[in-house]
């Protein structure tokens, strides 16, 4: 597969946006190669925003990828639910939106942190974290730690790299999905 010429990113919030941006920069994408969908306005539900815009984003991705190599990165927190629950919601959103399900050849990556992206940031920093705990207000998570975590995520997604034992399941599940963007 050839490298995507355009990566579209659909996320809940700025922290997720920072994480994805830094990761894509590490892959060699520039600002002109990445298009971020607008963030939800106000303080509403970010996960609801992603779910409501997912079918449209997939439809646009497929139209664009018919002309040029493209990719779509979707980041949505699982919150207290299971990652599989969010996956099911995204699949159902496609059905309701009249869009065919994801196929093996689609460069559509779902990254679904259990609880929130802060869980991944702390895990990537080497901390022992649990996916039942809520780290959203952890004061050690800031813009610098998010960018450092994204760089470490890039390392963890390299072929042949074995994530360390403290890697949380939702992060471990995202690694092969990230490779959909890299190939």
Mean pLDDT, rounded, for 66-75:
95
pLDDT range class, residue 97, cuts 50, 70, 90: very high
How far does the chain reach from its first CA to its final CA, in angstroms?
6
Rounded distance, CA 144 to CA 103, Å? 35
Identify how many contiguous H helices and E strands the chain contains and give both numbers.
6, 4
Contact (Cβ atoms closer than 8 angstroms) between residue 124 and residue 168: no
How confident is the model over 38-60, as pLDDT tens digits?
988 766 688 999 999 999 999 99
Domains recognised in the chain with CATH numbers: 6-182 (3.40.50)
Longest Cα–Cα distance in the chain: 44
Residue 181's pLDDT is what?
84
Percent of the chain with pLDDT over 70: 97
Residue 1 has pLDDT above 60, yes or no: no
Helices (H), 14-164: 14-26, 46-65, 83-96, 117-124, 143-156
CA–CA dist 138, 119 (Å, integer): 10
Q: Is the dihedral of CA 63, 88, 132, 156 positive or negative?
A: negative
CA distance 27 to 7: 11
Q: Residues of the chain with pLDDT > 90: what percent?
A: 87
How much is the average pLDDT of 105-123?
Answer: 96
Q: So what's the pLDDT on residue 43? A: 61
Confidence of residue 179 (pLDDT cuts 50, 70, 90): confident
What pLDDT score was predicted for residue 82? Answer: 93
138-143 average pLDDT score: 94
Instruction: Quickly state the pLDDT bin for 183 (edges 50, 70, 90).
Output: low
Cβ-contact 120, 153 below 8 angstroms: yes
What is the pLDDT at residue 44? 60
Angle, vertex CA 36, rays to CA 159 and CA 15, nearest 5: 75
DSSP secondary structure, 140-162, as one string: T-SHHHHHHHHHHHHHHTSTT--
Q: Is the pLDDT of residue 117 over 80?
A: yes
């Amino acid at each position: 597969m050839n490298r995507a010429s355009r990566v579209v990113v659909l996320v809940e919030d700025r922290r997720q946006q920072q994480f994805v941006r830094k990761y894509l920069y590490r892959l060699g994408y520039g600002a002109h190669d990445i298009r971020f969908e607008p963030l939800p306005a106000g303080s509403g539900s970010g996960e609801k925003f992603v779910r409501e815009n997912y079918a449209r984003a997939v439809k646009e991705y497929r139209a664009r990828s018919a002309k040029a190599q493209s990719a779509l990165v979707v980041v949505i927190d699982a919150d207290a639910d299971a990652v599989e629950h969010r996956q099911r919601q995204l699949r159902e959103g496609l059905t309701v939106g009249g869009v065919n399900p994801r196929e093996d050849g689609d460069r559509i990556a779902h990254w679904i942190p259990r609880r929130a992206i802060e869980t991944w940031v702390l895990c990537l920093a080497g901390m022992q974290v649990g996916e039942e705990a809520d780290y959203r207000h952890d004061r050690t998570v800031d813009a610098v730690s998010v960018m450092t975590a994204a760089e470490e995520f890039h390392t963890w997604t390299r072929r042949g790299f074995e994530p360390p034992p403290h890697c949380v399941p939702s992060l471990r599940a995202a690694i092969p999905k990230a490779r959909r963007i890299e190939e």
